[in-house]
């Protein structure tokens, strides 16, 4: 017999949340093709938006989003403006809350900065739900594997001299990382080919190797470069064209044997759908913080898997290792050390694969260093 006086087990409510804007410094200024072509300046820090959510019953969740170069203060301001809409809501209603936050700021759009600000809350809500269940996020979503293939990007930037580049590949392999990605897209294409050729010879014919042009080629140049890169047996050629050129990417998919990868700069499921619809990629590379969190990421994943595409989520390995574990097709996860100082925990890598954490939720806690890098902070609601 049910006791009507007893509150329902899932009648918890959000009572408090905290927001932080963190300027995470990078050890060295970072340059890719966009810097060499004059479109951007070297990157020296990453703006991190951190959200912590607490409920009446004492459950907590941690989430984050980010921006490279401009955008961090804007994300913080938008998140703070819409945050009161979460107070009093049931934290289990994650999809409903994503829509509520989205419509609260719909006048400035349902993608880009607005959805990225929401993404920090969305990740925190999924983290809370998994922690409350005593499950890792991967297990909560439904895991297909306990580890995922991983490749390193941070050692292959264009500012890195070739001799150091080769040392970096050795360091990555010694850590157990299973693939290497190089940046290309220099004004002198011969330099790109020389670097790729040298690294391919250094790694051997069978070790997984990728390249990333960061959107720096027009269509004729992309066709020529893809043709020149065919002999190196690459896992993929990434972002050969502008990130919104679905038609151009689809042409490259049809023309060349080397797979084409793109999607990291897209900021909504609708933008990804255009590439899925046109078959504009062999590897689709959604980024959960950029599309607005885990909720919209799962929509992209479902659409991509239905179309037979393989996913290789961009950046933020601490989050994406869980999401990649839930992919039906074997994914790749990008290994970047940049976010590690934010957290006390480290991901384990073995035999070319990144092990999926088994701790509840994301399995992450903030390091003491975060306080020193915090440039803005605010709280909404009252702690229970």
Residues acting as catalytic residues: 183, 314
**Nearest Cα to 101, choosing from 80, 129, 126, 132?**
80
Question: Does 257 belong to an annotated binding site?
Answer: no
Question: Does 96 belong to an annotated binding site?
Answer: no
Q: What gap in Å lies between CA 195 and CA 199, rounded to an integer? A: 6
CB 315 within 8 A of CB 323: no
CB 120 within 8 A of CB 3: no
Dihedral, 75, 76, 80, 86 alpha carbons, nearest 10:
60
Question: Does 33 belong to an annotated binding site?
Answer: yes
**Nearest Cα to 334, choosing from 355, 313, 352?**
313
Q: What gap in Å lies between CA 331 and CA 335, rounded to an integer? A: 13
Neighbours of 87 (CB within 10 A): 14
**Nearest Cα to 184, choosing from 165, 204, 167?**
165
Question: Does 318 belong to an annotated binding site?
Answer: no
**Quick one: tokens of 263?**
């999607």
Question: Does 304 belong to an annotated binding site?
Answer: no
Question: Does 238 belong to an annotated binding site?
Answer: yes
Question: Does 69 belong to an annotated binding site?
Answer: yes
With both helix axes pointing from N to C terminus, report the angle between 246-255 and 269-278 in degrees, rounded to the nearest 10: 40
Q: What gap in Å lies between CA 272 and CA 263, rounded to an integer? A: 7
Q: Is 46 exposed, middle or buried (0-12, 13-18, 19+ CB in 10 A)?
A: buried
Question: Does 167 belong to an annotated binding site?
Answer: no
DSSP for 225-237 reads: HHHHHGGG--S-E
Q: What gap in Å lies between CA 181 and CA 235, rounded to an integer? A: 9
Question: Does 214 belong to an annotated binding site?
Answer: yes
Which residue numbers belong to the known binding site? 32-34, 68-69, 181, 212, 214, 238, 264, 334
Which residue numbers belong to the known binding site for substrate? 32-34, 68-69, 181, 214, 334
Which residue numbers belong to the known binding site for Mg(2+)? 212, 238, 264
């Amino acid at each position: 017999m049910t006791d009507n006086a007893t509150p329902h087990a899932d009648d918890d409510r959000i009572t408090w949340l905290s927001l932080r804007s963190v300027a995470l410094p990078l050890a060295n200024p970072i340059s890719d093709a966009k810097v060499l072509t004059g479109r951007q300046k070297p990157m020296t820090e990453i703006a991190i938006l951190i959200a912590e959510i607490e409920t009446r019953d004492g459950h907590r969740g941690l989430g984050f989003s980010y921006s490279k170069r401009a955008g961090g203060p804007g994300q913080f301001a938008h998140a703070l403006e819409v945050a009161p809409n979460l107070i009093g809501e049931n934290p289990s209603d994650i999809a409903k809350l994503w829509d509520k936050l989205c419509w609260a700021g719909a006048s400035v759009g349902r993608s880009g900065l607005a959805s990225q600000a929401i993404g920090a809350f969305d990740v925190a809500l999924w983290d809370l739900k998994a922690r409350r269940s005593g499950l890792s996020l991967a297990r909560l979503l439904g895991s297909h594997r306990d580890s995922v293939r991983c490749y390193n990007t941070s050692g292959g930037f264009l500012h890195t001299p070739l001799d150091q580049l080769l040392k970096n590949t050795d360091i990555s392999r010694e850590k157990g990382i299973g693939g290497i990605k190089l940046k290309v897209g220099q004004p002198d294409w011969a330099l790109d080919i020389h670097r790729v050729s040298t690294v391919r010879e250094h790694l051997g014919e069978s070790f997984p190797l990728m390249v990333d042009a960061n959107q720096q080629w027009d269509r004729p140049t992309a066709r020529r470069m893809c043709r020149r890169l065919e002999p190196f047996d690459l896992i993929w050629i990434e972002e050969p064209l502008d990130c919104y050129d679905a038609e151009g990417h689809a042409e490259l998919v049809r023309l060349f044997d080397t797979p084409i990868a793109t999607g990291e700069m897209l900021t909504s499921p609708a933008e990804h759908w255009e590439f899925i619809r046109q078959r504009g990629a062999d590897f689709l590379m959604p980024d959960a913080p950029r599309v607005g969190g885990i909720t919209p990421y799962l929509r992209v994943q479902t659409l991509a898997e239905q179309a037979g595409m393989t996913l290789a989520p961009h950046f933020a390995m601490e989050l994406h290792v869980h999401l990649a574990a839930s992919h039906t097709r074997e994914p790749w996860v990008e290994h970047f050390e940049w976010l590690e100082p934010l957290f006390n925990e480290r991901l384990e890598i073995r035999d070319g694969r990144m092990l999926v954490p088994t701790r509840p939720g994301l399995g992450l806690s903030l390091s003491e260093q975060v306080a020193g890098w915090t440039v803005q902070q605010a709280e909404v609601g009252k702690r229970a």
